[in-house]
Amino acid sequence: MPDAPMLEVDAVSRVFDVSRPWLQRVLAREERLSLRAVDEVSFAIDRGATLSLVGESGCGKSTVARLVVGLFPPTSGSIRFEGQSLSAARAQPALRRRMNMIFQDPYASLNPRWRVRDIVAEPLRAFGLLSGRDAIGDRVGELLRQVGLAPADGEKFPHEFSGGQRQRISIARALSSEPEFLVCDEPTSALDVSVQAQILNLMKDLQQRLGLTYLFISHNLAVVRHMSDQLGVMYLGRIVESGPAEEIFSAPLHPYTRMLLAAIPDLDMVGGRTPVAGEVPSPIDPPPGCPFHPRCPLANARCRVERPGYTPTGDVLVACHAVEEGRTSP
Amino acid sequence: MALLDVEELKVEFPTRRGVLRAIDGVSFGIEPGEVLGVVGESGAGKSLTGAAIIGLLEPPGRIAGGRVLLDGKRIDNLPPARMREIRGRQIGAIFQDPLTTLDPVYPVGRQLTETMQTHLKLSDADARRRAVAWLERVGIPAGAQRVNAYPHEFSGGMRQRVVIALALCAEPRLVIADEPTTALDVSIQAQIIELLKSLTRDHGTSVMLVTHDMGVIAETADRVAVMYAGRIAEIGPVRAVVKQPAHPYTEGLMGSIPWIERKVERLRQIDGAMPRLNAIPPGCAFNPRCPHVFDRCRVERPDLLDAGATRAACWLHDA
């Protein structure tokens, strides 16, 4: 099936138990508390494409990333990787090595006591892809060259590198098992802009050269626009708008997407943007109906009680009553 | 006359392996009511410049040269007790992380009244009334009740509003805001920037806005100083610096930012990284990464030179 998506996520939810310890709960006569971090999220990523999830802190985007690589199982819904369910795919090393992850903080994601060559070679050894010191050494050298470092850097420890170089090491490690699918969770958020440009360019080059598929997680809309083919905008655990990135950026439909885009500082200095009132509500006790209604300029009685389904508008899916009803001004 | 004048400021850190010069001859002024943006990448010295002005350098860091004048009077050599009176009363400060700025064991109202009563002659009742008014002015609803709340009871955006109230409540003439929105989400960031702009405009307060986010500077600042390796690479009106940068570093920095308005296939990148303090190259510190480098750049260090609308420390502009 060459045309089947590489990854299909279908109505996936993840609930975390955030109750206090049992004894305290019993003494205070409290109910169990649960937090619905991801709520019926669906999307599909084609081979060689980049899908980005964007949203503010606490919207569940990183939880989706962790669900997709199998760091924890979904509470409900299914994730299929190359047509196989993720739990079945994770059980086979041959499939498992084909997905990998790049984390946000290159200071925390590299073991400070390991030499770079061992860090990069770990997936090779773990999957038994190569044996023999020389073969592994050659491959590590090649991987380091691929991300713009020198093979001799393999002898060094992570602390000898700057943040951008460390992120290159994480990318080399992620690439060592020759994956086809990479989950990148805020890969440049900890980096300065000039270094961010280097890493984003490197990721695009590698995607073209190796035909990689990316799930890209970020809060930075400008970075997301630069990287994505497809886009999903998340709010309080739900995708509120998804579709081709260019369409959403040129004509955002959901009031939340419009608000996010308007909130970005304007580099052309035309000014006159309208900051939006309010903050993201607690995901432990989300508002009924549409989760965005308390901040939405278009909210009406229906939005307060009934949760919107997805309305297809061209290639874009939007979860908004106002868009569905054609209400565009309050 | 400029409200704040910084002349040839130098900041050093003595270490076991010799003295590191983190800021090396920085000069600029801020006019009354003006917003000066200071941008640069981590380690460029932008936060240290703010800390040096306000007298909050962490030891062993020390001012090793130059002068800081507020209203024509030197403030860089004042004894700590005198400096404490200036801090808060004349110069307010807003830092990146509101949780470490606020004292977790006192209600926010008490922190506001304490600050005001330290610097202004106010009765308890007056101070309390003003504290409530400040909370409402920074957009915290029901100030009369929230005045008794503790910092942990506020969200991140609300805490930063309290910090802004705290910085402005003694009505200082200059506010140093160090990455005031970096810890916040974009929608909250927009609210905070808007608030800071309107409050400082209403009170005619000058602002030194330190940030790595060019977008925030473009929207907020009147002039901008771009720092690189402890020196100002370029300074000038914000529009000129963003649209027609004169220094190759500024040009590279602007090209490396993904803009939301337009999509490019590849970002311009500046190869390499900013040098470490113990390995700053001779001549212009940017010369190993500069696409226009020539012999003079490798031996002679440029000072700020007139470069059309801005001033840039670059030999390309030596007439």
pLDDT tens profile B223-241: 999 999 999 999 999 999 9
For the sheet with A230-235, list strands across it. A99-102, A181-185, A213-218, A50-54, A230-235, A238-244, A316-318, A311-313
Question: How high is the pLDDT of residue A1?
Answer: 46
pLDDT beneath 50, residues of chain A: 1
Closest residue of chain B to A268, computed from CA coordinates? B218
Q: Per DSSP, what are the bridge partners of residue B208? A: B36, B176
Structural tokens at position A82: 């190359």
A195 contact residues in B (CB cutoff 8 A): 41, 273
Q: Do A192 and B41 touch (CB under 8 A)?
A: yes
**Angle at Cα B302 formed by Cα B299 and Cα B308, nearest 5°?**
140
Q: Do B190 and A260 touch (CB under 8 A)?
A: no
Q: In whole angstroms, what is the distance from residue B188 CA to residue B185 CA?
A: 5
How many Cα atoms occupy the beta-carbon half-sphere of A52 within 13 Å? 22
Neighbours of B21 (CB within 10 A): 20
Q: Do A260 and B186 touch (CB under 8 A)?
A: yes
**Residue B222 in this model has a pLDDT that exceeds 90:** yes
CATH-assigned architecture of domain A7-98+179-325: 3-Layer(aba) Sandwich (3.40)
Cα radius of gyration rounded to whole Å, chain A: 22
If one counts the domains in chain B, the total is: 1
Indicate the pTM of the whole model.
Answer: 0.86
- Residue B275 covered by a domain: yes
Neighbours of B285 (CB within 10 A): 23
A196 contact residues in B (CB cutoff 8 A): 256
A165 contact residues in B (CB cutoff 8 A): 273
ipTM of the prediction greater than 0.95, yes or no: no
Of B187, B239, B258, the CB nearest to A223: B258
The DSSP symbol for B112 reads: H
A269 at the B interface (CB within 8 A)? yes
Q: Per DSSP, what are the bridge partners of residue B24? A: B10
Q: Do B187 and A162 touch (CB under 8 A)?
A: no
Whether residue B60 is preceded by a cis peptide bond, meaning omega within 30 degrees of 0, is yes
How many Cα atoms occupy the beta-carbon half-sphere of B65 within 13 Å? 10
What tens digit of pLDDT does each residue of B27-80 get?
999 999 999 999 998 889 999 999 999 999 988 999 999 999 999 999 999 999
Specify whether the CB–CB gap between A182 and A6 falls below 8 A: no
Q: Which of A217-226, A265-274, B87-96, B197-206 has the lowest mean pLDDT?
A: A265-274
Closest residue of chain B to A246, computed from CA coordinates? B263
Question: How high is the pLDDT of residue A215?
Answer: 96
Q: Do B263 and A268 touch (CB under 8 A)?
A: no
- The CA distances from residue A277 to A260, A272, A316, in Å, are 12, 15, 26
B207 vs A285 pLDDT, higher one: B207
Instruction: Print the domain residue range for B267.
Output: 248-319
Structural tokens at position A168: 């290159």
Q: Do B267 and A200 touch (CB under 8 A)?
A: yes
Q: Which of B239, B216, B197 is nearest to A266 (CA)?
A: B216
Q: In whole angstroms, what is the distance from residue B301 CA to residue B283 CA?
A: 4
